[in-house]
Amino acid sequence: MVYFSSSPRFVDHRTGPQHPERPDRIRAVAAAVRAAGLVDSPNPFPEFSLDFGSFPPAPGKVLELPEPQPADEKWIELIHPRAHIERVRHFCEIGGGVLDQGDTPVSEQSFDVAKLAVGAVLQCCDAVMAGTAARAFAAVRPPGHHAEPDRAMGFCLFANVAIAVRHLQARHSVGKVAVVDFDVHHGNGTQAAFETDPTVLFISLHQDPRTCYPGSGYAWETGEGAGTGTIINIPMNPGSGDAEYLNAFHTRVLPALDAYKPEMLLISAGFDAHRDDPLAQIDLSEDAYEQMTRLLVQAADAHTKGRIVSALEGGYNLRALGRSVVRHLVGMM
């Protein structure tokens, strides 16, 4: 069984009319999971319509978690200094503005919505650690994996998944945590949070940084000090497809997880490596997302009692996003 957490409030983070990281992303996910038969509750966005095409018969239903609550700032402070939290709060209080040189706009409600996004991921962690279902997916925005401890960046305000790692360690006494990030962009924020920390293994597959935002994530970036060896960057050539990604999983990701033996596995689940995505040049099909997910479930079965918490990062073609999220959920079921 898989828990599912989302909120209609995630559309209240407004980024402007032309921005790829837009409220309709949440509406598309809400519509797709219902079109695929994974969710029975009424769609909070009945006015939104998109033809997702057909889906294979649903293997079951996800377990919808109750409306998430904004994260207590004490958890956010496990990653971000107070000054960063206050800067985001201030920008929103004065009506919004642009953080990070142009690509991270915020609106009046963005601070609260960003705390809600963290809250949804933490809710998933609490649910999985309580033990009824082993896996959970949080369909949130804003995303988190570009947010570094002291700065917003790349559409991200708070490092949702990195905060979840610290929450698991602090509240649930989890020791070693692995984060696998298959968003097409390097998870620089997560890397920055754990660069020197041997208790977190961070594996990021992303388009070659010479050709793609944010320009980091080279293979030689492997962590520093006590954390040396626990950052694994796997740059993928533009034009790579399912075969190249699955090969990277078999030859790099799964052996690294087996060697590290994490007690908990988190996924930064971006779906912008899809072939229809407008922001990058990787050619994955939706099937690849299900297959990669199944491989991570196998690793979780071997090391984490099957436990996985996954959080939405990127994915900017609405149809591809919705269909890929469905396949990711099916892979976790």
Select the residue whose beta carbon is closest to Zn ion and give its number.
Answer: 314
Give least dist CB 31 to Zn ion, A.
21
The stretch among 19-27, 80-88, 252-260, 269-277 that binds Zn ion (CB under 5 A) is 269-277
Q: Taking the complex as a whole, how short is the minimal distance between the CB of residue 189 and Zn ion, in angstroms? A: 11
Please tell me whether residue 292 adopts helix, strand or coil conformation: helix
Q: Which of residues 295-324 bind Zn ion (CB under 5 A)?
A: 314
Q: Which is nearer to Zn ion, 151 or 186 (CB)?
A: 186
Q: Which of 47, 24, 113 lies closest to 316, judged by CA?
A: 24
Rounded to whole angstroms, the maximal C-alpha distance in the chain is: 52
Among 103, 181, 195, 272, binds Zn ion (CB under 5 A): 272
Only one residue has tokens 């980024």, namely 15
Rank residues 133 and 231 by Cβ distance to Zn ion and give the closer one.
Answer: 231
Q: Residues 90-123, buried b or exposed e (16+ Cβ, 10 A)?
A: ebbeeebeebbeebbbbbbbbbebbbbbbbbbbb
Binding mask 141-170 for Zn ion (x = CB under 5 A): ------------------------------
Sequence-ordered alpha helix ranges (H) in 198-285: 242-248, 254-260
- Residue 277 within binding range of Zn ion, rule CB under 5 A: no
Query: C-beta of 131: minimal distance to Zn ion in Å?
Result: 32
Could you give the C-alpha distances from 201 to 208, 259, 267, in angstroms and in order? 20, 11, 12
Work out whether 181 is an interface residue with Zn ion (CB under 5 A): no
Pick 37 or 214: Cβ nearer Zn ion: 214
Q: Binding Zn ion by CB under 5 A: which of 217, 227, 270, 322? A: 270
What minimum distance in Å lies between the beta carbon of 43 and Zn ion? Answer: 26
Q: Which element (helix H / strand E) includes 194? A: helix 188-194
Nearer of residues 185 and 303 to Zn ion, judged by Cβ: 185
Closest distance between Zn ion and the C-beta of residue 304, in Å? 25
DSSP state of 250: I
Return the ∠ at Cα 184 (arms to 16 and 302), rounded to 5°: 125
User: What is 303-330 written as a DSSP string?
Assistant: HSTT-EEEEE----SHHHHHHHHHHHHH
Residue (223 or 270) nearer to Zn ion, CB: 270
Among 21, 103, 148, 183, which residue sits at the site for Zn ion (rule: CB under 5 A)?
A: 183
How many residues belong to the site for Zn ion (CB under 5 A)? 5
CA distance 141 to 198: 29
Tell me: does residue 185 bind Zn ion (CB under 5 A): yes
> By C-beta, is 7 or 207 nearer to Zn ion?
207
- Dihedral, 326, 329, 331, 333 alpha carbons, nearest 10: -130
Q: How far is the CB of 115 from Zn ion (least distance, A)?
A: 21
| Sign of the Cα pseudo-torsion (26, 293, 154, 86, in order) | positive
Nearest distance from C-beta of residue 314 to Zn ion, angstroms: 3
Q: Collect all residues with Cβ–Cβ distance below 8 Å to 306 and sequence separation of at least 6.
A: 134, 135, 297, 300
Active-site hit among 80, 145, 146, 186 = 146
Residue 72, classed as helix, strand or coil, is coil
Mark whether 146 is an active-site residue: yes
Output 27 or 185, the one with its CB closest to Zn ion: 185
Contact footprint for Zn ion (CB under 5 A): 183, 185, 270, 272, 314
Q: Catalytic residue numbers?
A: 146
